[in-house]
Structure 1
Amino acid sequence: MVEDRLKRKGVRQRWLVDYPRAVPLAIFLLVAAVTALSVFAIESGQRIREDAELTRKAQAMAFAIERRAYSNSAFLRAAGALFGSQDKVDGETFRQFVAELRLDSDYRGAEGIGWAPAIDSTVVAETEAVLNEGKLHSIRITPSIVAEPRSQLVPVLFLQPDTLRNRRALGFDMYSEQVRRKALDEATRTERPTATGRVTLVQEGGGEEPGFLIYMPVFEGSIGNRTLKGFVYSPFTAAQFLTSAAELVSGEETPVRLFDIGDGDRVLMAERQGWAPDRATVDRQVDMAGREMLLVVQASNDNTLSSLSMITLLFGLAVASLLLVVARLLTQQAQEDSRSLDWFAEQNSIRNSLTRELNHRVKNTLANVLSIVSLTRRRADNLDDFAEGIDQRIRALSATHDLLTQSEWGTTPIRSVIEVELAPYANDAEHEVVTEGPQVELAPNDALSLGLAIHELATNAAKFGALSTVGGKVSIVWTLVNERLARIDWTESGGPRVTEPTKRGFGTDLIEKIVAHELRHPVDLEFLPTGVRCKLLVPVREPSEFALRSPPAQHDVG
């Protein structure tokens, strides 16, 4: 046993003896590779978790933005319903309505709520008079209709809260500006709150802070005879609106961007702090009062390795280096053990020679035993009958085993044979393949012969016939002639003009001679100008005609 252990040890150390430098290096590289795979797995799992968290944040942020927009739209709808029922919208009515809304201090991300009547140029003076009621400074409708003549005007008449910033917007004709005018017309058409694209609010006083507005049209009169009365609206600074929506999402600060994509272009509306290049992002489209906007949420973490990955990497490299040193020491020990291994190898060769000699003698012994049994069987009647019974059983068992192996060959439907052979062409949009017929089962050999014929016909059609051109059609229809015979018609159409081949090819001989012989019926193959036609007759046999039979039962011999 000591010798065996030393021998196995010598085999393992042979690599160290033959490759004293390569083996330690290979061990180092193997451990380093395992470490790299471990780091990759850790990072992959971390990325999956981060992506899931980023998707959750994007969904929550999109919901918060739409919620803010919906809340403001709901206020505007309420104002539209109220002002539509009033004969006149005056300053007191408007202020009372806004006060009853009990909005929070920042108006849910909006600058406030305003009223802008829809007027024509004939009532500009009257509207300016209303604008200047209780005002110390005169307010005019801008741009002036003298400088820019126009018939339709939508000037800002009231805007709450009454702040210095909001007073800058009073008297501004929103219908004079293209982006606002487009949203006003869309709101009038749809009769629902409608957001504008990116604009600079008049409240900015010449600044460049992007914003947008949401308009709700107000009509007066009965259904079918209504006229546009004006618009109740809310102006928004995009950055404040985005911040207001972010307050609804709990968690850490997330870098986001909001883009206007309603006109097909991607226009930046607002961006929260923390945005950095080369980080993963998730896009979500949001509905901002009937206008499409795009929310882009960015991951908070950069692409550096996580702490667990760094620990795994350092630990793996340390282990790899340690194993490199250990393997180098083992190579020295292996060289000392090789001499002992050579001696035991010599002893093992001697033992193998003895084993072969023993095996040879065992075979000779068995041959002698068989000879004795044979002689005994010939000389004793009882033993001969008994041996003969044993021989029959062995042969019957072998035959039964073969039959059971072949019994898996059952019947095959015609449709399956045809569909398998035509599978490469059936899903091609440039061709049409039609298969039609009843459920007919074929014997194994007949199915193989039919498949061979269909394969040859399909190959010919793909090279020269209907399957070689766009619009070609192949129709395979089979019918039962009687209970014992099925007819299969192959018809090509829509392909190139066909001429009778001057030289018989291998496929033609294969179908007309070999396949016809195997199916025991002639094959009718025609090369018509419109396409190849082929008629095959296939026997339909009962399973009992080709199924393998079970071997007869054997009787015991007493």
Structure 2
Amino acid sequence: MARPPYLQIPPWLWLIALVGVMLSLATAQQARRDAGDEAMQRLAFSADQVTLRVEERLAAYALILRGASALFDASETVDRGEWRTFVEGLQASALLDNVEGIGFARHVTAERLSDYLATVRAEGFTDHAIAPSGEREAYGPVHYIEPFSGRNRHALGYDMFAEPVRRAAMERARDTGKATLSERVELVTEQGEPQPATLMYLPVYRRDIPQASTAERRDALLGWVYMPYRMYDLMAGILGDHDWSDGQPLTLSLHESEGDARGALLYASDSEPAPASTFQQTRHIDIAGQTWRLLFRHRSPGAAADLTAAGWRLAGGLLLTLLLCALIASLQGTRARALAMTQALTRTIRQRETQLERAVSRLRTIAGRIPGVVYEFRLEPGGHSRFPYASDGMRQIYGVAPEQVQDDATPVFSAIHPDDRDAVVVSIARSGETLTPWRQEYRVRLPGDRLQWVFGDAPVSSCR
């Protein structure tokens, strides 16, 4: 049994449905890619912000050490009281809240070791000794450290020049005259659970001694100003007041960089490393002779991109495809009925137009046979007036054609006798204000200087 025409689905409708499904899948896939790109951009922005903050903080610390070095350049000698006053002035800044302190390590040759120990003991540290003990060509003991309290007291006298990692950084600083970061160390002041640490050194040279070459800088060396950093405390100070993850579940790990490989771990925001995925960003910081590698990852890579938009696009596309196909099928089934209705409406409209034309023709015939003129007069805001409609009697009464006054009534008023014109204008205005019928008798000048008395009578209505 053949289906009725309105139930038959044309093949091209299946093609439209297939195209709609394919477009829905394509837009959903594009939304998924856009969401991934947006997530990666947010991750990159967070990585850039954190990297910038770390760089700025380390640069600020290098400037502070420059100021400490300048203190020695500006004074013959710097005693413990002056050093304490200098550091206490710096501690007013929040920059040093997460720093262990600021110290000065003296460069002491083996020949001058006895004199150095005697000088320190004369300051009240009667049992002062250099640790670790032993004979060496040169020493770099901690001479000043502020604040000189708590665990920092254990650093006094510690010979950093005896430890290979610290010594390497101190020698680079000595030979270059620049601030230098050490590799990962463990601070001698650690108590309990130790943290990865690093130190920044800046050399201090004796005044008025040439420092142009490496050899001259070694001969002029007085010591080093330095800052020790416990890395977790340092990063807490840098990131603590900043939503560095921008609301994302991110992890941050900081490593020493050894070429393309990761070196020792300096800091990790999470105890458990995040799984490797494409949603990660790597940044490198080159500062003070060291390269740090910052690795940013999502804790949940699968949830890194918000796929809500992709789901809505797919659902919306499929729904629109379904609705479009249903609409087309409905239109296909009702096309004949709509065509018939259109034809019927067309016939009705034509009949009404014919009837209207006949009515207008009759009205014009009647208006033409009525003595005088039948008209519609409009007085618009601002004083402009016109006759949208006037019968042919306008020619007999005023001597003007109806077409001449459709947009401007001036020809009619010009035909009114000058002695009566003002009275006509006043009567029209009064009738318009009171909405009472207008009645006025006046004279009209016709061609050939003929005068004709006219009596005007018209009902008034408001067009507002």
Give the TM interval when normalised to the shorter protein: 0.5 to 0.7
Aligned to 1:259: 255
- Do the aligned partners of residues 205 and 121 (structure 1) sit closer, same or farther apart at CA in structure 2, a change above 3 Å counting? farther
Q: What amino acid does structure 2 have at the position aligned with 1:257?
A: S
For residues 394-409 of structure 1, what are the structure 2 equivalents within 5 Å? none
| Correspondence 1:276 to 2:274 | yes
Q: CA deviation at 1:212?
A: 0.7
Residue 200 of structure 1: aligned partner: 186
CA contact (8 A) 1:61 1:249 kept: no
The Cα RMSD (Å) is: 3.7
Match of 1:156 among 142, 149, 152: 142
Contact 2:90 2:96 in 1 (8 A): no
Secondary structure, aligned partner of 2:155: coil
The change in CA–CA distance for 1:250 and 1:152 in structure 2 (over 3 A counts) is same
Distance in 2 (CA, whole Å) between partners of 1:63 and 1:196 is 20
> Secondary structure of 1:209's partner?
coil
Question: 1:296, CA displacement in angstroms?
Answer: 2.3
How far apart, CA to CA, are the structure 1 residues paired with 2:18 and 2:130? 80
- How far the C-alpha of 1:140 sits from its partner, in A, is 2.8
> What is the rounded CA distance, in whole Å, between the counterparts of 1:207 and 1:131 in structure 2?
32
Shift of 1:318: 6.3
TM-score by length of 2: 0.58
1:243 aligns with 2:236: yes
SS in structure 1 at match of 2:59:
helix
Counterpart contact for 1:220–1:227, Cα < 8 Å: yes
Matched with 2:38 is: 49
Pairing of 1:224-235 with structure 2 (within 5 A): 224=210, 227-235=220-228
Query: Which residue of 2 is the match for residue 179 of structure 1?
Result: 165
Give the aligned partner of residue 303 of structure 1: 302
The answer to whether the 8 Å contact 1:68/1:108 transfers is: no
The structure-2 alpha-carbon separation of the partners of 1:102 and 1:241, relative to structure 1 and needing over 3 Å to count, comes to closer
Q: What is the rounded CA distance, in whole Å, between the counterparts of 1:105 and 1:67 in structure 2?
A: 14
Distance 1:82 1:160 in 2: 15
| Partner AA of 2:295 in structure 1 | V
Q: 1:218 matched to which residue of 2?
A: 204
**Alpha-carbon deviations, 1:114-137, whole Å to 9, x = none?**
010000234444444555677789
Q: Structure 1 residues 131 and 321 mapped into 2: Cα distance closer, same or farther (>3 Å)?
A: farther
Change (3 A) 1:180 1:136: closer
**Whole-Å Cα distance in 2 between the matches of residues 134 and 28 of structure 1?**
93
TM alignment of 1:514-529, pairs within 5 A: none
| Preserved CA contact (<8 Å) 2:142 2:159 | yes
DSSP-derived class of the 1:168 partner: helix
Post-superposition shift, 1:109?
3.6
| Match runs of 1:80-91 below 5 Å | 80-91=69-80
The amino acid across from 1:37 in the alignment is: A
Residue 197 of structure 1 and its aligned partner are, at CA, apart by 1.2
Q: Does the 8 Å CA contact 2:202/2:225 hold for their aligned counterparts?
A: yes
Letter in 1 for 2:226: Y
Q: What does residue 177 of structure 2 align with?
A: 191
Give me the whole-angstrom Cα distance separating, in 1, the residues matched to 2:18 and 2:121: 85
Counterpart pick for 1:63 among 14, 27, 52: 52
Measure, in 2, the Cα distance between the counterparts of 1:13 and 1:29. 14
SS at match of 1:198: coil
Residue in structure 1 matched with residue 461 of structure 2 by the alignment: none
Provide structure 1 residue ranges, at least 5 long, that are not aligned to the other structure.
Answer: 1-5, 17-22, 334-558
If you compute each CA radius of gyration, which structure gives the higher value, 1 or 2? 2
Find the aligned partners of 1:126 and 1:264 in 2 and give their Cα distance: 47
For residues 212-240 of structure 1, the C-alpha deviation after alignment (integer angstroms, 9 at most, x for no partner) is: 10001001042426511000000011122
CA contact (8 A) 1:120 1:152 kept: yes
What pairs with 1:368-379 in structure 2 (closer than 5 Å)? Answer: none
Offset, 1:91: 1.3
Question: Which string of whole-angstrom CA distances, capped at 9 and with x for unpartnered residues, describes residues 441-487 of structure 1?
Answer: xxxxxxxxxxxxxxxxxxxxxxxxxxxxxxxxxxxxxxxxxxxxxxx
Distance 1:14-1:59 versus aligned 2 partners, 3 A rule: closer
The question of whether the paired residues in 1 share the 8 Å contact of 2:204 and 2:222 is answered with yes
Q: CA deviation at 1:322?
A: 8.6
- Report the CA distance between 1:180 and its aligned residue: 0.9
Alpha-carbon distance change, 263 to 152 in structure 1, aligned in 2, over 3 angstroms: farther
1:285 correspondence with 2:271:
no
Change (3 A) 1:178 1:162: same
Q: Give the length in aligned residue pairs.
A: 313
Q: What CA distance in whole angstroms lies between the structure 2 residues aligned with 1:105 and 1:187?
A: 26
Percent identity of equivalent pairs: 25
Is the alpha carbon distance of 1:83 and 1:316 closer, same or farther for their aligned partners in structure 2, counting shifts above 3 Å? same
Q: Which moved further from structure 2: 34-43 or 68-77?
A: 34-43
CA distance 1:89–1:151, shift in 2 (3 Å): farther
* 1:96 alignment partner in structure 2: 85
Residue type matched to 2:163 in 1?
A: E
- Given that residues 183 and 194 in structure 1 are in contact (C-alpha distance below 8 angstroms), is that contact kept between their aligned partners in structure 2? yes
CA distance, structure 2, for counterparts of residue 94 and residue 116 of structure 1: 12
Deviations 1:363-389 (A, max 9, x none): xxxxxxxxxxxxxxxxxxxxxxxxxxx
Q: Distance in 2 between matches of 1:222 and 1:248?
A: 44
* CA distance 1:243–1:275, shift in 2 (3 Å): farther
Q: Deviations over 1:27-66 (max 9, x none)?
A: 7765544333222111222222222222222222222111
1:490-521 C-alpha deviation (Å, 9 max, x unpaired) = xxxxxxxxxxxxxxxxxxxxxxxxxxxxxxxx
Q: Which amino acid aligns with 2:147?
A: P
- Look up the match of 1:116: 105
Label 1:133 to 1:205 Cα distance change in 2 as closer, same or farther (>3 A). Answer: farther
Shift of 1:107: 0.8
Stretches of structure 2 that go unaligned for 5 or more consecutive residues are 211-215, 334-464
Q: How far apart are the structure 2 equivalents of 1:87 and 1:264? A: 46
- Within 5 Å, which residues of 2 pair with 1:407-418? none
Cα deviation code 1:166-210 (max 9, x no counterpart): 222222111111111111111011101111111111122475411
Residues 318/118 of structure 1: CA separation in 2 closer, same or farther (3 Å cut): same
Secondary structure of 1:203 counterpart: coil
Q: How does 1:491-530 map to 2 (within 5 A)?
A: none
Instruction: Please name the residue that 1:142 is paired with.
Output: 131
SS at match of 1:199: coil
Equivalent-residue separation in structure 1 for 2:75 and 2:261 (angstroms): 40
How far the C-alpha of 1:246 sits from its partner, in A, is 2.4
Task: Tell me which amino acid in the other structure corresponds to 2:161.
Answer: Y
Q: 1:248 to 1:216 in 2, by over 3 A?
A: farther
Q: CA separation of 1:264/1:194 partners in 2, compared to 1, >3 Å: closer, same or farther?
A: farther
Give the alignment partner of residue 167 of structure 1, picking from 146, 150, 153: 153
Q: Structure 2: how far apart are the matches of 1:301 and 1:114? A: 43
Amino acid of the structure 2 residue aligned with 1:288: I
